[in-house]
Amino acid sequence: METQLNQLKDEALAKIEAASNTKELNEVRVAYLGKKGPITDLLKGMGKLPAEERPKMGALVNVIRETVTTQLEERMAHLEEQAINEQLAKEAIDVTLPGRPVRTGNHHPLTRVVEEIEDFFISMGYEIAEGPEVEKDYYNFEALNLPKGHPARDMQDSFYISEEILLRTHTSPVQARTMEAKDGAAIKIICPGKVYRRDSDDATHSHQFTQIEGLVVGENIRMSDLKGTLSLFAKKMFGADREIRLRPSFFPFTEPSVEMDISCFKCGGDGCNVCKKTGWIEILGAGMVHPNVLEMAGYDSSAVTGFAFGMGPERIAMLKYGVEDIRHFYTNDVRFISQFHRTEA
């Protein structure tokens, strides 16, 4: 009987080992441990044994049953794991295949520049002022200290609609309109927008382009305030270690007038092709608002002063991104616009 039992055990263990999948293993389980299996049969046949052998044989049968059960469970766990692994292996993918593209567009590079400038000045408490692109000669020129007959208002240089109406040549008329509307109150504004000049389109000229200007008017606004503001702006826009310098210049609507250079953001001031070996890059024009401009808008120029500055987003974008031809901004080539999709910060 004992021999028979051991033989049975070996046979069961061999079959467990041989089972190659869970189904086969279950068959083994049923065959050996099921109600009709040989071990159950043996247990059932215990009654026929002499009484003194029963405990020994009973214990032996139990040991065998436990051994087989344990083996079976282990084998089952193994086979299950193997089955999962096989399944996972089948499910493997080529992770180098391209992902499903998420379709997005992006800002035009000029909008990107304009919004960056707007956001900086908004954080400094400025508002955004906008105005018409078709303007009165009065706001475009006269109110800005460019009286009739002034050389800068040549008919050849501007798109006139009539004697008195033209496409604005700069965004400064928005300043004139804002000052007039504010009726003597303090002002802190940024004026972005499209402007037009009678130029033939080429690599550096465009009959339509954009400008962004700023204006601060109030009591005791000083040139040092202009310098401090522009310095912060330069650092924000072109890098924290940018330095600025002011050079005297001339605009009819400001006095004193300056041009602002920033230390070259490419070479840091050592001289390179971006700064034309000078270490400095001209970025904007600025100045203290001309008393005539203040007076014409209804301010008392002895009590109120102001500063103004203006720049060209095209020029800034060309410098910042290395764009060589202004016409790229207006041909709307997707291969151009789509290059400005990502953040730089």
Given a contact cutoff of 8 angstroms between Cβ atoms, the answer to whether 280 and 262 are in contact is yes
- Regarding 207 and contact with other proteins (CB under 8 A), the answer is yes
Cα–Cα distances (Å) from 10 to 3, 57, 343, in that order, read 10, 17, 70
Cβ-proximal residues to 322 (8 Å cutoff; 6+ apart), any chain: none
- Regarding 200 and contact with other proteins (CB under 8 A), the answer is yes
Q: Residue 109: exposed, middle, or buried by beta-carbon count in 10 A (0-12, 13-18, 19+)?
A: buried
Among 57, 144, 258, 311, binds other proteins (CB under 8 A): 258
- Regarding 223 and contact with other proteins (CB under 8 A), the answer is yes
Given a contact cutoff of 8 angstroms between Cβ atoms, the answer to whether 150 and 252 are in contact is yes
Q: Residues in contact with other proteins, total (CB under 8 A)?
A: 86
Among 41, 164, 295, 300, binds other proteins (CB under 8 A): 164
Question: Could you say which residues in the range 273-312 bind other proteins, by CB under 8 A?
Answer: 288, 290-291, 305
Instruction: Please identify which residue in the block is written with the tokens 């997005």.
Output: 104
Q: Residue 134 CB, nearest distance to other proteins (Å)?
A: 5
Given a contact cutoff of 8 angstroms between Cβ atoms, the answer to whether 155 and 165 are in contact is no
Q: Residue 241 CB, nearest distance to other proteins (Å)?
A: 15
Alpha carbon distance 250, 256 (integer Å): 8
Span interacting with other proteins, options 7-15, 37-45, 79-87, 145-153, rule CB under 8 A: 145-153
Instruction: Please identify which residue in the block is written with the tokens 């001309």.
Output: 290
- Regarding 264 and contact with other proteins (CB under 8 A), the answer is no
Among 71, 231, 267, 272, binds other proteins (CB under 8 A): 231
Q: Residue 322 CB, nearest distance to other proteins (Å)?
A: 19
Amino acid making up residue 91: E
Among 256, 271, 321, 323, binds other proteins (CB under 8 A): 256
Structure tokens at 225: 């305030």
Q: Residue 106 CB, nearest distance to other proteins (Å)?
A: 5
Angle between helices 2-18 and 54-91 (to 10 degrees): 0
- Regarding 149 and contact with other proteins (CB under 8 A), the answer is yes
Q: Which residues of 24-38 are buried (b: 16+ CB within 10 A; e: fewer)?
A: ebeebbeebbeeebb
Among 29, 75, 177, 188, binds other proteins (CB under 8 A): 188
Phi-psi region for residue 81, left (φ > 0), alpha (ψ -120 to 50) or beta? alpha
- Regarding 216 and contact with other proteins (CB under 8 A), the answer is yes
User: Closest CB to other proteins among 41 and 295?
Assistant: 295
- Regarding 255 and contact with other proteins (CB under 8 A), the answer is yes
- Regarding 138 and contact with other proteins (CB under 8 A), the answer is no
Radius of gyration of the chain (CA): 43
Question: Could you say which residues in the range 14-43 bind other proteins, by CB under 8 A?
Answer: none
Amino acid making up residue 40: T
Span interacting with other proteins, options 174-182, 247-255, 263-271, 317-325, rule CB under 8 A: 247-255
- Regarding 110 and contact with other proteins (CB under 8 A), the answer is yes
From 281, 218, 292, select the one nearest 251 (Cα to Cα). 292
Among 52, 91, 183, 219, binds other proteins (CB under 8 A): 219
Alpha carbon distance 32, 10 (integer Å): 11
Q: Residue 222 CB, nearest distance to other proteins (Å)?
A: 3
- Regarding 87 and contact with other proteins (CB under 8 A), the answer is no
User: Closest CB to other proteins among 219 and 344?
Assistant: 219
Alpha carbon distance 33, 29 (integer Å): 5
Q: Residue 159 CB, nearest distance to other proteins (Å)?
A: 5
- Regarding 123 and contact with other proteins (CB under 8 A), the answer is yes
